[in-house]
Chains A and B, each alone.
Chain A
Amino acid sequence: MLGEAEPQWLSEEVKTGTTIIAIQFNGGVVLGSDSRVSAGESVVNRVMNKLSPLHDKIYCALSGSAADAQTIAEMVNYQLDVHSMEIGEDPQVRSAATLVKNISYKYKEELSAHLIVAGWDRKEGGQVFATLKGLLTRQPFAVGGSGSSYVYGFVDAEYRKGMGKKECQQFVINTLSLAMNRDGSSGGVAYLVTIDEHGTEENVILGNDLPTFFDQ
């Protein structure tokens, strides 16, 4: 056929569609994300880990434009590296979140990414910060990405204060699974990162190990 337009995925920006979530529990935080990266209607990467380390005990969850989000995470990782050497100890989660927020706010017109920053530090224990569009707010839990709209009801109803580590992990897996079922831009496998005083644990839950709901 004459004059065939080029495929959509060549011209569409690579977005991380996404469902991301971070929850604080007594003694630490759990972060979770899906693994789908889309360019228009094409899935460019079906196994991308959207939980990026900023420091040993501070991670961030990426959403929005894949390149923008990765770049912010890498910049903050670099700044935290030097900062932690200068202060001679592990940086605070608040510092990491502030660095992310400052970049997001300064370049808010050019960037299109939302990072949720979560981690554990000695001063305040587990903390979750949302940095949407350049604001900085500490929350007991935060969800983000296109898939989050489908699960606001679920998290609002099911979240309880004082959950333990295993409960939190299960809560995150359930939330991700529900969102991945309904959101076209989220899917693949679920990545989990659990951070507490004793260390950082990374997990993958493969597609067929995800919990199933009424339709399966």
Chain B
Amino acid sequence: MSRGSNAGFDRHITIFSPEGRLYQVEYAFKAISQSGLTSVGVRGADSVVVVTQKKVPDKLLDSSTVTNMFHLTPRIGCVMTGHNADSRSQVHRARVEAGEWKYKFGYDITADVLCRRLADISQVYTQNAEMRPLGCCMILVAIDPQFGPVLYKCDPAGYYCGFRATAVGAKQTEANSYLEKKLKKKPELSHDRAVQLAISCLSSVLSLDFKPTELEVGVVTKDKPKFRTLTEAEVEVHLVAIAERE
């Protein structure tokens, strides 16, 4: 009854397979791991942190022009994991959506609303035959005026959710288990502890001792609610603190 009517197209465009799966969406998730990078986000008591690897594969590349951290509004930042070009497209769309919201409604968009908007856009791609889903995943961070520190993630399936901590990318399963273990007792994380937890998570699942040039760290804190990326010197301070604790 349900066999054969798709003629094999269910793997090529976003229509349902006989088992009820959307193969293109699943392939989009695989595309995220293709980049080989992993990113981690951790929400603390009064800050939110996102960390990602900075891999500069080519010796001729100018590493100061390579980044996966982006400002969406002065107060909302994000880290993108996956296909580079798709990431930039989604970031641009997010910036325009945030700007439009402020223009139309007269106040700054909040991270959860922006995340929902991007997830809704991603969902459209899972229903349209002529467009493919984007092969990237966005983790948004902000200090929400009502709810304080927030961490949101939206993926190619159009699913979005708020998290206490999350990981995306090649090693996301291992990273998520690490974070689950560390956050099981629901500790109150200070800003420094949150940064160090995120960095240790990456170190542990990738079995790498990071140098400050191999990491990008983005933070928002209650005292300084504007999203910013840490300088190499600041990252070094945290790396030293982690090493001393071990």
Contacts and interface: CB of A to CB of B under 8 A. Distances in A.
Contacts of B74: 85
A82 B92 CA distance: 9
Interface string A81-102: 1100110100000000000000
Contacts of A86: 92, 95
Contact of B95 (A74, A75, A77, A82): A82
Question: What does DSSP make chain B's interface, helix, strand, loop or mixed?
Answer: helix
A78 B73 contact: no
A112 B2 CA distance: 65
Interface residues of A, number: 10
Question: What does DSSP make chain A's interface, helix, strand, loop or mixed?
Answer: helix
B73 A85 contact: yes
Contact of A75 (B92, B98, B103): B103
A81 B71 contact: no
A58 to B, nearest CB: 15
A79 B95 CA distance: 11
A78 B103 contact: yes
Interface centre among A75, A86, A88 (most CB of B within 10 A): A86
B103 A85 contact: no
B102 interface: yes
Nearest to B99: A82
B72 interface: yes
B100 interface: yes
Nearest to B74: A85
Nearest to A86: B95
Interface in B49-77: 71-74
B85 interface: no
B96 interface: yes
A78 B108 CA distance: 11
B100 to A, nearest CB: 7
A79 B103 CA distance: 9
Contacts of A88: 71
Contact of B72 (A78, A79, A85): A85
Interface centre among A77, A85, A88 (most CB of B within 10 A): A85
B102 A81 contact: yes
A213 to B, nearest CB: 41
Contact of B96 (A74, A75, A82): A82
CB-CB nearest 4 A-B residue pairs? A78-B103, A82-B99, A85-B95, A81-B99
23 contacts: A74-B103, A75-B103, A78-B99, A78-B100, A78-B102, A78-B103, A79-B99, A81-B73, A81-B99, A81-B102, A81-B103, A82-B95, A82-B96, A82-B98, A82-B99, A85-B71, A85-B72, A85-B73, A85-B74, A85-B95, A85-B98, A86-B92, A86-B95
